[in-house]
Structures are given as structure tokens and as C-alpha cells.
Structure 1
Amino acid sequence: MDRVMPGVRRRSAVSMSGILLVLAVATGVLAWFLIAAPVITFAAAKNHAAHFGFVYAHMIGGTLMLFLGAANLYVGASRRFFRWHRQIGYLYLGGGTLAASSAIYLALAPVHAETPGFAIDLLAVSDVSWSLAMLGSAWLAAAALAFRAARNKRFDQHRQWMIRSYVLTWSFVLCRLLATQPAMASLGDGSAAVWLSWIVPIFLCEIALQWKAGARVAPRA
């Protein structure tokens, strides 16, 4: 039997959280085959010969954060399989930290330069690289705040920061997909597409999370 938090009624599996889980997994599988499959099969190795180890680590971490993030949000919302919530959360944070950290390093190091290198020179970093590094930093910040809130038993804030971190997880996917679209070339070197891929989703997410906070307060009797 699954353990449920005391005083919390377990919801049906056929619920909005269950539907969202199915949609997240289905779209995640599609995105994984488009982005991660060439890496896990080594088909993309020749395009990243000097730094393929970092790309592979980024793929492993991204896979964990993409699917475990969806699973843990479902567990937290539905209270089903809640005894696994902490373990899944640790794996999600670990995989995401690996993916975000490797993304930041790959963005800042001149690994794609004519003369590849691994030493970071911040004065030589391009605009698109800064935008990618900021996306990775935003995910790390959201994950750290979610972890801190859970440690301090502020579960309302923990839930919100986990939602923000998962929105940023999908921003990694979105910016990769946008980069393959010819129309994005009209936005310049690609930095605008990266900024838009996470600024717009996190902005909309914040509106959704804070909507009830600004609702009309019912008058006291």
C-alpha cells in the first residue's frame, strides 16, 4: 500500500494531475528522440569530438530532469506513491544539477571555436553563450530554493519553486528545438531565441502561481 500524508485524501489516478503527467511524458519522449537520441547513440559524437563527454553528461542529466521532474510533480500533486517523493526529488535535483552545470560550462568555454579550448575567458563569451549560461543558472537557483524550502518545511514554497524549475527544464528543450528552425535566424545570433525560450514561460508560470495571491479577500462576517 502507498503511504499518504496524514490528513490528506488521496486523489483518483484519473485527474488533472494524471492527465498532465501523461502529456508531459508523451511530449518528453518525442523531445528526447529529437534531441537526446543522437547523443546516446553516439551519432552526434563527430560534431562534438573534443567535448563529447560533457555533451553526454548533459544528455544524461537532462533525461533525468525531464522525466523525473514530471513524475515528482505528479506524486506531489496526487499524493500517490508519496513514499518515493523524496528519492525521486533527489534524483531530479542531481540530474538537473549535472545538466545545468554542464550546459553552463559548454556555453562559456570555447569548445566550438576554430581552435577549441576548455579554459573559460568571460571577455570572449558571445551573447548566445551568455543567454544559455543564464538559463542554466536560473535552473540551479530555482532548484536550490526548492531544496531550501523543503529542508525548512515550507512545502508551499517548495511546490512553487519545483514548478518553476520544471518550467525551466522544458526551456532547455524549447531553446534546442527553436535553434533548428530557420525562422529563428531573423532574431540574430540566436541569443534572443534562448532568452525568449525561458523568459516567456517563466513569466507566464509566475502569473499562474501568483494569481490566487491577488484575488479578492472575502469580507469577514
Structure 2
Amino acid sequence: MDPARGLGETARGGRPSWWRRPWVIPLVAVVLAFLVYSLPPYLTLDPEKSAVPLREGTVLHYPLLVLHIATGTVAMLTMCLQLWPWLRRRHPRVHRVSGRVHVIAGAVPGALLALVLVPYAFPGQPVGAVGNTLSSLLWLAAVVAGVRAARRRRFAEHRRWMVYGFALMMNIVWGRVIPFLALIPGVEISDQFVKEWSGWLGTAVNLLVAHWWLSRASKRAVAPAPAGDQVSSAVGVR
């Protein structure tokens, strides 16, 4: 940051300084909190400590689950780097490399493994199976569309697709949040309810929030600026 720039002024090109983007730190905090909460049972590679009930007689269930968790972890951490505007502008090579890692070692295998695991996770629960299958397919589609847009150098479109991909990936957090509603006096929430509806609720809410954010950012980018102000020409999340 230029020391001559006054407090509250924007970075070069009219873009806000990193500390004026209040969504960055909470977003990373949510990701890290989820990983700290979810990862420990699987670090020992002991099936007995699995937080997810394993299908009896299915040897591949636990290895596939661990691979899904590992690729999901890579996808979440690398997406935090992808959505960091300062890193994208100042270190585009790091952005490109982390993006390739996100797609190849995180999002694509993570989404495909989620599709494979749905029958194990939702036996006899068609609502939950359909909801989580749909969210996994949408996640995969958003990532593929984002990659195609980047290869065609349509970077604003690329950013929009990747934001939607991030929203779909993070629907898993709802499966950890909904059970806490049972702490409210008089509220009872069964495991059946959580498994059936967390996928649907997470997908719907996260996509709505992502759409609202992208629309807000796009309108702000094209809004006329007061005389003397610099306006960024980039459209999308910045």
C-alpha cells in the first residue's frame, strides 16, 4: 500500500483496499472453522472414528469418504485464495496455479466422489439423495463453466461461475449448522430431517446469497461515479 495514500482511499485503479472488503475475513473464518470441526475424526484414518455412519460390508465406503474429504479440503482452501482480490491482482501466476489445483485436485474429484457417496449416505432417503445429487451436479457444472470461461478469457463470466461454484460447495456447512437449532428450547430436529433437507436448504440459500452479491457488485461497478472519482471497469466480484 502506498504510504502517501490517505486512510480510506482506494487502491490503484479505484479498487478498494483489502481492509475495505469486509467479506474476506468472515469467509475464510467460516471455511477454517468448518475444517477444524470436521477434519479431526479422519486424520487418524481410523474407520471407527468416522463421524459419518459407514455402510456395513462395503469396504470402499471409508476410503472413498476420506478421499472426498481430502479433495473437499483442497477445494475449500484453494477457493479462498481464488476469491482473494489482492492475490488475483498482484500475483496472477499464483492465482492461476491455485485455480488449477482447485479444479484438478479439489472441486472436480470432490464433486464426482460426492455423487458416488450419495447412495451410501442416504439409504432409503430419496429426498436427501436427490437434493445432494443435484447440488453436486450443479457444483461440477459451475466449475466446468468457470474453467471454459477463463480459457476463453471471459474473466468476468469466469468469476461469476466460480462464485456460484463456491456457494454450491459450501452447502455442506448447513449439515453442521442445522443441528444446533435443537439447542433452542422446544425445538426438536432429527438426524433424518438434517440429512433430508440440509442439501436442499444449503443449495437454495447459498445460491440466492451468491446471486445477490454478484448483482450488487455488478450494479456498483457500472454506477456513475462522482466527478473526480476513479471507477473500476471490472464487473463481478472484486
Structure 1-normalised TM-score?
A: 0.75
* Correspondence list, 1:1-221, <5 A: 9=13, 14-17=18-21, 20-45=23-48, 47-48=53-54, 50=59, 51-75=61-85, 79-94=89-104, 95-107=106-118, 109-110=119-120, 126-178=126-178, 182=182, 183-185=188-190, 188=193, 190-211=195-216
**Percent of aligned positions with the same letter in both sequences?**
21
Whole-Å separation in 2 of the counterparts to 1:211 and 1:11: 15
Do 1:97 and 1:140's aligned partners in 2 also have CA atoms closer than 8 Å?
Answer: yes
- In structure 1, distance between residues paired with 2:223 and 2:121: 55
Deviations 1:16-57, CA, capped at 9 Å, x for gaps: 44x544333332222112112212223554643731111111
Q: CA deviation at 1:105?
A: 0.9
Q: CA deviation at 1:9?
A: 5.0
How far apart are residue 126 of structure 1 and its match?
A: 1.8
After superposition, give the CA deviation of every residue in 1:162-190 in whole Å (9 maximum; x if it has no partner). Answer: 11111122112223443575444398473
3-state SS of 2:153 partner = coil
Q: Which moved more, 1:205-214 or 1:134-143?
A: 205-214
Q: TM-score, normalised by structure 2?
A: 0.70
> In 1, distance between residues paired with 2:200 and 2:217?
27
Please state how far the C-alpha of 1:193 moved relative to its aligned partner.
2.5
CA 132–37 in structure 1, closer or farther in 2 if over 3 Å, else same: same
Q: Does the 8 A contact of 2:175 with 2:195 survive in 1?
A: no
Q: CA deviation at 1:157?
A: 0.2
Greater CA drift, 136-145 or 198-207: 198-207
Q: Identify unmatched segments of 5+ residues in structure 1.
A: 1-7, 114-123
Query: Per-residue deviation at 1:81?
Result: 1.9
**Cα distance, 1:111 vs. partner?**
6.3
The amino acid across from 2:197 in the alignment is A
Q: Aligned partners of 2:152, 2:77: CA distance in 1, in Å?
A: 26
Q: Deviations over 1:195-221 (max 9, x none)?
A: 011111101211221246678987xxx
Shift of 1:10: 9.8
CA distance, structure 2, for counterparts of residue 45 and residue 100 of structure 1: 25
Of stretches 28-37 and 155-164 in structure 1, the one that deviates more from structure 2 is 28-37
RMSD, aligned CA? 3.2
- Aligned to 1:15, the other structure's residue is in SS state helix
Q: CA deviation at 1:93?
A: 1.2
Q: 2:210 is aligned with what amino acid?
A: C
Equivalent residue number for residue 5 of structure 1: none
CA distance in 2 between counterparts of 1:70 and 1:90 reads 14
